[in-house]
């Protein structure tokens, strides 16, 4: 826990040489450790089998991640965001028992960062929690209403919570944990800009995979079918190519992640951030992914988001004609999923997609009968998934944002979400004009939260894989930046 300080007269050259030497030593240590680990894993596999070798590699990787997060807390944020769109769609028990890989990764690196902070506090460093009541208080109330209150309402009605109901409250707790991790680690403009890149480039990769999936590129389809098409109601090979579920395992989650990344790129472009070619590549790839997702909610979010961007940034509005050819290219490439979704409209004599008719039947016959004046007030259950009676499906998902909050926590949870939304939009308003990366995140947060409110009338989105993570990451960066500027 101690380190030797350089001499007081060490200049920039001396410090640079020392940093280069330290990085070289770390690189050699990593390479040597990797070679030794590979050799040991091979020996263990030969002696005790592949399962033991996988366990050894997993345990070693876990120790390495924990230690690195303890030494460099920002590593916890970077590693989670970089891998989020790729591993979040892998179901529980596929690679790791009981949890998704991204959940295990977040728990591991957060534990490492907290342990490192504790050691620094013991050493005498100034480690003090910082709170911003304008957002942290309604966020805390929302967390209580989404976790403690649903379990309490069950016990008030004489029910014992099941394992599925306990597991159902974890996503919101995970989002708040991510919020504080990002807020305490992403503290400089350089880190904010790097975090933006660690969000948009993996998002562009997801968009590219979604496009190749809808074009039925065989290697991509085979890879997705191996790791990301498991669990209840898994798609058939033909269904897998209809919409871009990509590595998130859900077209609606893929659409959310892609449109959030696209809005973030446009807000960066309005401030001259990121390189010009970088912005063009990202915008074209993400714009194509918007169509390839094949989700009406994604297209609604795109319309709302683009309208708000045009209103906020007149310069982008004037430049829209220059980028019209790119939008046309994106539409042509993403046309298979886009046109496939439009074919179902009006087939049964109604001007809505066929899937919406099934959604209406699910709400009417499976969910609404559970509501009465008591359950509307205090909620039905933390678990929104119901078992299906039909043979062609195993489970039924609740597809209504408003009913989602009422089902889990009743009126208190819905009111807590609306209060949090009001406080977030009021708090972020002064920061949207900031010229740097902090301002880009603030502008993106405002736009994303507004279309989140619109989409909540149709679907629950906050708990989706990747969606809530990116929203709470933007919220943490914005709130942390506002709080830091108020203190200086």
pLDDT tens, N- to C-terminus, the chain (488 residues):
334 344 444 444 444 455 455 546 555 655 565 555 555 555 555 555 555 555 666 677 888 889 889 988 999 999 999 999 988 888 777 777 767 888 889 999 999 999 998 888 888 877 777 788 889 999 999 999 999 999 999 998 888 888 888 888 988 999 999 999 999 999 889 999 999 999 999 999 999 998 888 888 888 888 887 777 665 556 666 666 677 788 888 888 898 999 999 999 999 988 888 888 898 899 889 988 888 887 778 888 888 888 888 888 777 766 666 666 666 666 666 666 666 666 666 565 565 666 667 788 888 888 999 898 888 999 899 999 888 877 777 888 888 889 999 999 999 999 999 999 999 999 998 888 888 899 999 999 999 999 899 989 888 888 888 899 999 999 999 999 888 777 66
Residue 478: other Cβ atoms inside 10 A: 27
Q: How far is the C-alpha of 191 from the C-alpha of 441, rounded, in Å?
A: 12
State pTM to two decimals. Answer: 0.85
What gap in Å lies between CA 250 and CA 89, rounded to an integer? 8
Torsion of CA 421, 382, 363, 244, to 10 degrees: 70
């Amino acid at each position: 826990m101690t380190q030797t300080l350089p001499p007081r007269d060490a200049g920039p050259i001396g410090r640079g040489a020392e940093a280069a030497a330290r990085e070289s030593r770390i690189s050699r240590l990593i390479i040597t450790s990797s070679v030794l680990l590979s050799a040991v894993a091979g020996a263990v596999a030969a002696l005790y089998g592949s399962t033991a070798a996988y366990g050894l590699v997993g345990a070693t990787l876990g120790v390495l991640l924990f230690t690195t997060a303890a030494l460099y807390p920002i590593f916890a944020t970077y590693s989670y965001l970089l891998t989020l769109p790729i591993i979040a769609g892998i179901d529980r028990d596929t690679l790791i028992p009981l949890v998704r890989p991204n959940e295990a990764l977040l728990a591991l690196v957060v534990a490492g960062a907290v342990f490192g902070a504790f050691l620094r506090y013991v050493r005498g460093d100034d480690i003090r929690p910082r709170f911003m009541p304008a957002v942290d208080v309604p966020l805390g109330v929302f967390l209580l209403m989404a976790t403690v209150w649903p379990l309490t309402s069950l016990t008030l009605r004489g029910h014992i919570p099941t394992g599925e109901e306990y597991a159902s409250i974890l996503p919101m707790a995970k989002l708040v944990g991510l919020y504080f991790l990002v807020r305490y680690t992403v503290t400089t403009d350089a880190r904010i800009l790097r975090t933006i890149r660690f969000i948009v480039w993996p998002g562009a990769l997801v968009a590219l995979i979604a496009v190749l999936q809808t074009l039925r590129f065989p290697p991509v389809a085979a890879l997705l079918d191996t790791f990301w098409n498991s669990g209840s109601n898994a798609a058939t090979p033909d269904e897998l190519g209809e919409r871009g579920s990509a590595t998130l395992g859900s077209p609606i989650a893929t659409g959310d992640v892609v449109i959030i990344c696209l809005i973030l790129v446009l807000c960066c472009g309005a401030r001259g951030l990121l390189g010009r070619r970088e912005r063009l590549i990202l915008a074209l790839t993400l714009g194509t992914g918007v169509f390839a997702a094949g989700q009406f909610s994604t297209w609604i979010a795109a319309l709302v988001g683009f309208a708000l961007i045009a209103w906020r940034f007149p310069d982008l509005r004037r430049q829209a004609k220059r980028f019209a050819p790119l939008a046309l290219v994106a539409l042509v490439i993403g046309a298979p999923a886009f046109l496939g979704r439009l074919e179902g409209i009006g087939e049964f004599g109604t001007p809505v997609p066929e899937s919406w008719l099934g959604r209406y039947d699910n709400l009417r016959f499976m969910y609404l009968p559970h509501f009465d004046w008591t359950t509307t007030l205090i909620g039905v259950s933390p678990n929104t998934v119901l078992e299906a009676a039909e043979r062609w499906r195993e489970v039924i998902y609740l597809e209504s944002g408003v009913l989602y909050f009422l089902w889990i926590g009743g009126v208190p949870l819905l009111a807590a979400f609306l209060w949090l939304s009001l406080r977030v939009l009021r708090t972020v308003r002064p920061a949207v004009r900031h010229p740097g990366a902090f301002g880009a995140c603030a502008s993106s947060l405002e736009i994303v939260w507004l279309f989140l409110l619109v989409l909540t009338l149709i679907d629950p989105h906050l708990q989706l894989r990747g969606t809530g993570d990116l929203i709470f990451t933007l919220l943490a960066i914005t709130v942390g930046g506002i709080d830091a500027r108020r203190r200086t």
